[in-house]
Structure 1
Amino acid sequence: MTVALFTLGGTIAMAGTCAGDRDGGDDRDGSDARSAPVVTRLTGADLTAAVPGLDVPLEVHDTHAVPSADLTFRQLLDLVDEASKAVLAGAAGVVVTQGTDTLEESAFLADLVWPHPEPFVLTGAMRNPTLAGPDGPANLLAAARVAAADEARGLGALAVLNDQIHSARRVRKAHATSTAAFISPDTGPLGHVIEGRVRILTRPPRRAPLGTGECENIRVALHTVTLDDDGAQLAGLADTHQGLVVAGFGVGHVPSALAPVLGALATRIPVVLTSRTGGGSVLSHTYGSVGSETDLQRRGLINGGLLDPYKARVLLRLLLANDANDANDANQNAIAKAFLLHG
């Protein structure tokens, strides 16, 4: 059966150089034109043609050819809708190629709303096709095989890179340049592609999909707590944003001076507490000092559990788009339950 391929640009689709870098001479820093910046050029047909041994029929849909830093919630939700139509029309699964910068957030957003058992697989590349050893073709081949595999059904959205299969809920980009940039710190990958065979080693439970809502006018801030942080930059935030995610120290701690600032914000908008560490969970009742996780929850902050700050922001914005957009007790409880379920 055919797999639907949707292309969104990014490193995997970049080739050639900017017009101003085509003179073939030396750049100002002494490097030659071979190191000039690349731009998005390759179509889905170009991508598939570069994959040796491609044994999965792909139906290509070229969509937003933009860097992943420019992707929006609306574009991604529209893409999920188009992918859903492809599955309903008979596609065995979906592959999306995009830039890796926001791939972990795109994957989690898709996972939260994807209603089908057919796999929704995201992939990309760390090395563009002008470099020695580009990883895009291998990643696309592995992603296509996962999307077509019966073993991957019922797993929701997946990130497939470097022959590893990651859950959208757990995957993170943990290195700026390595081809092994994507990891799942708390669980490890769900499986691997070995000699072309899809091997799923563990199956986390699926959650019921959330509604997509109207997210365009929902603004959720992310504040990373730092040494000697008094929260001055958060002044007025509740007047301009509908939610806040706090990336705290360790298991969910902040400086004591910041605690009342966050507590005041939590009376006006939902404030979710996460860890800036990149692995592990926010705790709920181990420490009791001012600024501890216990103190912050007492002040109204919502425990983000195992979700990293970036995914917590995706979930909170989606929840707020589905009408839980104020800090009253009922909505606070609904958001807390959602984080307990999805985190």
Structure 2
Amino acid sequence: MAVFGLGGTIAMTSDGGGGVVPALSAAQLVDAVPGLAETGVDIEVEDFRRLPGASLGFADLTELAAEIDKRLASGTVDGVVVTQGTDTIEETSYLLDVFHTASQPVVVTGAMRNPTLAGADGPANLLAAVQTAAHPTAPDQGVLVVLADEIHAASRVRKTHATSGSTFCSPNGGPLGYIVEGTPRLLNQLTSRRPTLDLTNLSTEPRVALVTVSLGDDGLLLDGLADRVDGAVIAAFGVGHVPQRIVPALEELASRVPVVLASRTGAGSGLATTYGFPGSEKDLLERGLIRAGFLDPLKARILLWALLATGYDRAATLEAFATAGVYADS
């Protein structure tokens, strides 16, 4: 088993200045986990980054994805665990998922309470992640996220509370399973296909904007946006609605770059044909926007970035979103 450390709260300790910073190595994290030796899993560790979750970027994660591919292809490990800050796990885990084509499991974990606090959850989460990655039910599930003894699909998981230890939830479908007495128990599995992209086709570093629509929105953030980005995600009201006044700006934007229409609610699917007024989901899709379906805005942005970065055309982009958004006909 390979454990890649990226930093984050799980690796933070006091710097003497009144706050904690990422300072612990991946080896120190592994050494601090009670019961890990008793699992019988051989662990290889790599200090890949020591950054707060908020400071990780696309370059960090694509480099990590390439290293994971290399390690799994070598046959020297049967699975991978990634430790990182929880601020961006819902995005980073999905980016890894999009580029993860091997059958071996990849599990992402972190901590909400740093090691200087009573009840720090890092050791328990890391143990649960290793137990999950080593279990025979873990392969062919895509990238998994394990915290608080819950097992989530990277394509569904969201951070839903700023400080709670049980912050990670999967609003669409719930967790895939739980860790029970040290054993992963999957109660359900992903039934839909997931789009996977070839990391070796990575050729550009696109800029993809995320614009959240709000009450009385006049489209200020859309002004000149097409000149500054390669794609955009619109986090719209409800099932995919925007104020009528910004429809022309969205239509113009969609004529120049790919624009994905997602729901800002974070749960449920955007619709396609129920409402027909100007600014409704039907109206916007007819004007060229791309339906996100069950993908929330953050994950829709990750998928659009990956598609643009690997050179996919519009037809392939539509197919990928239909698959990931779970509204493809087949």
CA contact (8 A) 2:202 2:309 kept: yes
TM-score by length of 1: 0.90
**Structure 1, unpaired ranges of 5+:** 22-35, 325-330
Select which of 77, 90, 94 maps to 2:80.
94
- Structure 2: how far apart are the matches of 1:334 and 1:88? 27
The residue identity in structure 1 corresponding to 2:57 is T
- Structure 1: how far apart are the matches of 2:188 and 2:155? 14
CA contact (8 A) 2:203 2:311 kept: no
- Structure 2: how far apart are the matches of 1:232 and 1:43? 44
CA contact (8 A) 2:195 2:324 kept: no
Residue number in structure 1 paired with 2:296: 308
Residue number in structure 2 paired with 1:272: 260
CA contact (8 A) 2:226 2:256 kept: yes
Residues 255, 270 of structure 1: CA spacing in aligned structure 2 closer, same or farther, 3 A cutoff?
same
Residues 321-332 of structure 1 mapped to structure 2, 5 A cutoff: 321-324=309-312, 331-332=313-314
Residue number in structure 2 paired with 1:108: 94
Select which of 30, 53, 75 maps to 1:48.
30
The residue identity in structure 2 corresponding to 1:65 is R
Which piece of structure 1 moves more, 119-128 or 226-235? Answer: 226-235
Pairwise CA distance, 1:57? 2.2
Say whether 1:171 aligns with 2:157. yes
Equivalent pairs counted in the alignment come to: 319
The residue identity in structure 1 corresponding to 2:194 is R
Residue number in structure 2 paired with 1:226: 214
- Structure 1: how far apart are the matches of 2:198 and 2:228? 24
Q: Any idea what SS the aligned residue of 2:239 has?
A: coil
- Structure 1: how far apart are the matches of 2:237 and 2:314? 23
Say whether 1:197 aligns with 2:195. no
**Structure 2, unpaired ranges of 5+:** 326-330
Select which of 10, 13, 17 maps to 1:12.
10
Pairwise CA distance, 1:171? 0.3
- Structure 1: how far apart are the matches of 2:94 and 2:203? 15
- Structure 1: how far apart are the matches of 2:324 and 2:106? 18
Q: Any idea what SS the aligned residue of 2:114 has?
A: coil
- Structure 2: how far apart are the matches of 1:6 and 1:101? 17
CA contact (8 A) 1:115 1:208 kept: no
Residue number in structure 1 paired with 2:270: 282
- Identity, in percent, stands at 53
CA contact (8 A) 2:195 2:320 kept: no
Q: Any idea what SS the aligned residue of 1:83 has?
A: helix
Select which of 307, 310, 328 maps to 1:319.
307
Residues 281, 140 of structure 1: CA spacing in aligned structure 2 closer, same or farther, 3 A cutoff?
same
1:147-190, Cα deviation, whole Å (9 max, x unpaired): 11111111010000000000000000001100000000011000
CA contact (8 A) 1:156 1:206 kept: no
Say whether 1:211 aligns with 2:209. no
- Structure 1: how far apart are the matches of 2:256 and 2:66? 33
- Structure 2: how far apart are the matches of 1:93 and 1:275? 34
Bigger radius of gyration: 1
Which piece of structure 1 moves more, 89-98 or 219-228? Answer: 89-98
Pairwise CA distance, 1:211? 2.1
Say whether 1:68 aligns with 2:53. yes
Say whether 1:333 aligns with 2:319. no
Pairwise CA distance, 1:84? 1.8
- Structure 2: how far apart are the matches of 1:209 and 1:256? 36
CA contact (8 A) 2:160 2:167 kept: yes
CA RMSD of aligned residues (A): 1.2
Q: Any idea what SS the aligned residue of 1:151 has?
A: coil
CA contact (8 A) 1:74 1:216 kept: no
Q: Any idea what SS the aligned residue of 2:144 has?
A: strand
Q: Any idea what SS the aligned residue of 2:261 has?
A: strand
